[in-house]
């Protein structure tokens, strides 16, 4: 064989050797399998079923009954006011992964806070996105028939506002709105007997244009403390409907 032929064989053998060295391969260590390449080492995880997604807290309880899941094997994790997970309590695989068996996700609230919106849009939102309490009724009564004109500020405290409202066909008068207001928008699961109330500052201003009506806004004034109240209410719901379950927040 010529020198060129020998060199060609050596080159081919080197290429094959490099390919074999860099080819992905499965290795085991401490009873766990890994996929090894020349650049990385990745664990080969045991397959697990996808978690079930529901929209209510009751859905988690119903799933446990349908799947014969024992309360001793799981716990409930209230991640937030809108997300609650049914978690595996003990691990059954080599990777010590805690499985999420099911997740309840509440639809996000349609209410926009901390921004002004047109008066009519605001009134509709108050009627459909809030629990109808005495505080909601008082606010709607105060602003439901706002007349065209300037919104009046009370200069003595900077908190209370007066709005000009229509009374009857032609008469107009002012209506005071005292802040903060305790309101209960829909922000967590409807399974709960009531939505958590929190403090809001209501503001109204005249339209930016001459032909524009007044605009309204609610500003959150409780530092989002309602979230803690909502998660405590979720925990209490499970105490009532599934007392054998452990709930962590």
Domain identity same for 218 and 124: yes
Per-residue pLDDT at 146: 67
How confident is the model at residue 147, as a pLDDT? Answer: 57
User: Looking at residue 228, what is its pLDDT?
Assistant: 94
Strands 198-205 and 41-43: unpaired
Phi/psi region, residue 149 (left: phi>0; alpha: psi -120 to 50; beta: rest), is: left
Range of the domain at 20: 3-43
Task: Looking at the structure, tell me whether residues 122 and 212 fall in a common domain.
Answer: yes
Give the alpha-carbon dihedral of 43, 46, 50, 52, to 10 degrees. Answer: -120
Q: What is the pLDDT of residue 98?
A: 79
Same-domain check for residues 129 and 58: no
Same domain, 158 and 180: yes
Nearest alpha carbon to residue 231 among 178, 203, 174, 189: 189
Q: Is the pLDDT of residue 115 over 80?
A: yes
The residues, ordered by sequence, that sit 6+ positions from 191 with a Cβ below 8 Å of its Cβ are 56, 57, 58, 237
State yes or no: pLDDT of 137 exceeds 80: yes
Do 217 and 201 touch, CB atoms closer than 8 A?
no
Contacts of 24 (CB under 8 A, 6+ apart): 35, 36, 37
**122 and 218: one domain?**
yes
The tokens 């605009």 sit on which residue? 215
In order, the DSSP letters of 190-249 are: TTSSSPPPEEEEEEEE--SSTT---EEEEEE-STTTHHHHHHHHHHHHHHHH-TTS-EE-
The per-residue pLDDT for range 155-175, each reduced to its tens digit, is 445 556 555 544 443 335 566
Whether the pLDDT of residue 245 is over 60: the answer is: yes
Q: What percent of the chain has pLDDT over 90?
A: 45
């Amino acid at each position: 064989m010529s020198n060129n032929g020998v060199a060609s064989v050596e080159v081919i053998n080197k290429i094959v050797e490099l390919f074999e060295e860099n080819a992905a391969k499965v290795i085991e260590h401490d009873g766990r399998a890994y996929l090894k390449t020349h650049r990385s080492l990745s664990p080969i995880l045991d397959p697990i079923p996808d978690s079930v997604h529901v929209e209510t807290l009751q859905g988690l309880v119903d799933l446990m009954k349908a799947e014969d899941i024992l309360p001793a094997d799981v716990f409930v994790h209230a991640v937030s006011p809108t997300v609650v997970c049914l978690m595996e309590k003990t691990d059954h695989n080599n990777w010590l992964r805690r499985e999420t068996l099911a997740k309840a996700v509440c639809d996000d609230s349609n209410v926009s806070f901390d921004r002004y919106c047109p008066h009519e849009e605001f009134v509709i939102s108050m009627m459909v996105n809030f629990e109808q309490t005495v505080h909601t009724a008082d606010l709607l009564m105060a602003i439901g028939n706002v007349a065209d004109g300037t919104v009046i500020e009370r200069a003595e405290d900077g908190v209370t506002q007066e709005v000009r409202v229509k009374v009857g066909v032609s008469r107009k008068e002012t209506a005071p709105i005292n802040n903060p207001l305790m309101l209960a928008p829909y922000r967590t699961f409807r399974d709960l007997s009531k939505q958590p109330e929190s403090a809001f500052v209501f503001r109204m201003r005249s339209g930016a244009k001459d032909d524009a009506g007044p605009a309204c806004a609610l500003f959150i004034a409780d530092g989002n403390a309602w979230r803690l109240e909502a998660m405590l209410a979720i925990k209490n719901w499970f105490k009532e409907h599934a007392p054998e379950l452990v709930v962590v927040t």
